[in-house]
Structure 1
């Protein structure tokens, strides 16, 4: 939801940066990879050591690279199929590293095992939310929308982590448990969206040796 509401305003800031980088010969794929490597390194270095506020600031800076590579693609007139796959793959890696780092902190320095469960739920559910959409689109179905998409997940997790690093009581537990519940809800929403899309499009028909048969693609 936030992706749609904030896109126009964000583009006003990122588009000039994207045009400048393209004008200086920088490729969008390079920015994508640099942003991902930086996010992963920061998440797995600062968070497990308990440096939550510093980690949040550094991760946020590198997460912004994901906005810039999109602006660069628009400045070039279009993206590439490889760039789209690379961007989606890097998003999953960066998201996984963030929640893996939080889980590591919870089970280690933070000594909050129950909170580690919430972080693991966020990690798994976040990957599922993206997978359901990708798998549905591959099958010609739709799974757009949901309560918490990537932007919301990152904002809630990073704000909660940063505030906890500044000493705000219960900031991270509230953020992670709220996000865990919302992420599980979104998984259910997207499965329902896929079901409705499949019902609207009708059965998939393939032709086998014995004639037309109804079948569904296997995962």
Structure 2
């Protein structure tokens, strides 16, 4: 869904990437710095109730996620290591976001939302990791697992936008509802990937027979 926007951002960051490379900044440094910024912000801003600020800052760094990839391509260093590092640190950043949101609900004054919000955030964390794992495991077996209605950009957009709106409006129910919706579409995406891999395996088995 957001592939077109990702390509547009790659073009937008082209001059920035060139400048950073010129002054000696490496793609790995940008990847690591961005992850540290997201993790630090998520684990400070969300638990302390700064939903709007936290989501906007994290959104800024997520928005620039393609910068390291652009730098790698321009420097001729794009390859397995960069892809591995970026993917691994993406999981860390995602985990920090949902842990931070779970902590926010556990610290919230509205007791009726404590359990519901925390469970929703944990479900999003677990299902998001499973969605990513399903694709990685499929590709490790030489199969395609890149299908589904809610990939990482969509999941981040839903969670951060809902957190931002909840922060400005002080209506936590908006965030709780959005997180349960996100958990549902993540589960659907996981099932889609499982069935997609199963069809490939059955097709390959039929061809061998």
* Fold equivalence (TM over 0.5): yes
- Secondary structure of 2:169's aligned partner: coil
Contact 1:122–1:183 at 8 Å: present in 2 too? yes
TM-score by length of 2: 0.91
Aligned mates of 2:31, 2:4 — CA distance in 1: 23
- Secondary structure of 1:50's aligned partner: coil
Once the two structures are superposed, what CA deviation does each residue of 1:98-152 show, in whole Å capped at 9, x if it has no partner?
0110011112225421121111110000000110000110011111121100000
Aligned mates of 1:62, 1:26 — CA distance in 2: 17
Aligned to 1:217: none
TM-score by length of 1: 0.87
Aligned to 2:30: 31
RMSD of the alignment, in Å? 2.0
Q: How many residues align?
A: 205
Gaps of 5+ in 2: none
Greater per-residue helix proportion: 2
Aligned to 1:150: 152
Structure 1 residue 71 and structure 2 residue 70: aligned? yes
- Write out aligned runs for 1:12-31 (5 A): 12-31=11-30
Gaps of 5+ in 1: 206-219
Would you identify which runs of 4 or more consecutive aligned residues in structure 1 move more than 6 Å?
none
Structure 1 residue 171 and structure 2 residue 174: aligned? yes
Larger radius of gyration: 1
Contact 1:17–1:71 at 8 Å: present in 2 too? no
Structure 1 residue 129 and structure 2 residue 146: aligned? no
How many angstroms does 1:25 deviate by? 1.5
Contact 2:124–2:186 at 8 Å: present in 1 too? yes
